[in-house]
Amino acid sequence: MSTDQTPGSSPPIPPELRRGASLTLKAHEVMDQAWDLLMQANAEQDNPAQVACGPGCAACCSYLVDAISTESELIAASIELGDPNYKAAVLERLLDWEHEFMRWLQRHPVPDGGIKNHAHDLWRGAWQIRRIACPFLDMDSYRCSIYADRPATCRGHHACYIPPEMAGNVSQPPDGCFTSVEDIQSGKLTPIWMLNAHVGETFTKLLTDTLDIKGVDYSGHLLPLMVLNVGRVVWGWPKPNPRKKRNKPPRITVARKT
């Protein structure tokens, strides 16, 4: 991403964001290399797991995604400095998502003060069963429009086809990746078979450890809200207007198989 300014171009990335963005890009590169090594090790097993995730399957793109602030700064900068048509479209999607989430949050407050526990997971599941698409999901191709800059949470998330000997009555991906209404109502979490369930957490820790070592301040929160906050603080993006009627965010109705 260039930070040089030319006549008529968007303003360069502010200096205060450049260091965090650079460190985040390097950490993301290491994550991608680590994933390749993990897949290589899996392929060498006698019975390798079969990763079901692929382009066009957006089942997980209705989850509440956590991101580190430097990741959100990188994404916000890419939006601001990129194609103005894309910026206009994705900004409307972000504002629609924010409006819908804030209205939903009034009826479903975060349990236990936000402590990450089973109740918190069920709260997230209550949002996921609505299948509201991530603002960055291209609804025509069902592909991520910020794939190169996607956060660690997304880089480490995947689903695998369940081994035949363990399948039982569990739904296979991609349909099995959707959170079940029945499970949430009974206080359970819909199981997703993973190659390694801790990859996402490990990737996020890799990034936060990198920022800690370099003395870069950061925070964590939901991706769409963090990206909007950066855009508002740095580039003056529109503030939320609860009185304005906004479009309903698009929903993911089917996980496409490729």
- Contact predicate 56/165, CB 8 Å: no
Q: Is the dihedral of CA 159, 75, 228, 20 positive or negative?
A: positive
Q: How many CB atoms lie within 10 A of CB 81?
A: 19
The answer to whether residues 91 and 243 touch, using CB atoms and an 8 Å cutoff, is: no
Give the mean model confidence (pLDDT) for residues 29-54: 93
Query: Would you say residue 44 has pLDDT above 90?
Result: yes
The pLDDT of residue 54: 84
Rounded distance, CA 61 to CA 123, Å?
Answer: 17
Instruction: Give the residue with greater pLDDT, 89 vs 164.
Output: 89
C-alpha dihedral sign at 214, 218, 223, 224: negative
The stretch 66-87 carries a mean pLDDT of 96
Look up residue 233 and give its two tokens: 């603080």
211 pLDDT higher than 60: yes
List for the chain the helix, strand, coil content (%; round to 5).
50, 5, 45
Structure tokens at 166: 């363990």
pLDDT at 257 over 80: no
Examine the pLDDT at 4 and tell me if it is beyond 50. no
Residue 87's pLDDT is 98
pLDDT at 8 over 60: no
Please report the pLDDT score of residue 160 as a whole number. Answer: 92
Q: How far apart are CA 107 and CA 57, in angstroms?
A: 30
Q: Which amino acid is at 50?
A: Q
Q: What is residue 212's predicted lDDT score, i.e. its pLDDT?
A: 97
Nearest to 173 by CA among 156, 193, 148, 155: 193
> Which burial class, exposed, middle or buried, applies to 39 when counting CB atoms under 10 A from its CB (0-12, 13-18, 19+)?
middle
Secondary structure (3-state) at 93: helix
Largest distance between two CA atoms of the chain: 63
Share of residues in the chain with pLDDT > 70 (%): 95
Q: Mean pLDDT in the chain?
A: 90
Q: What is the pTM of this model?
A: 0.90
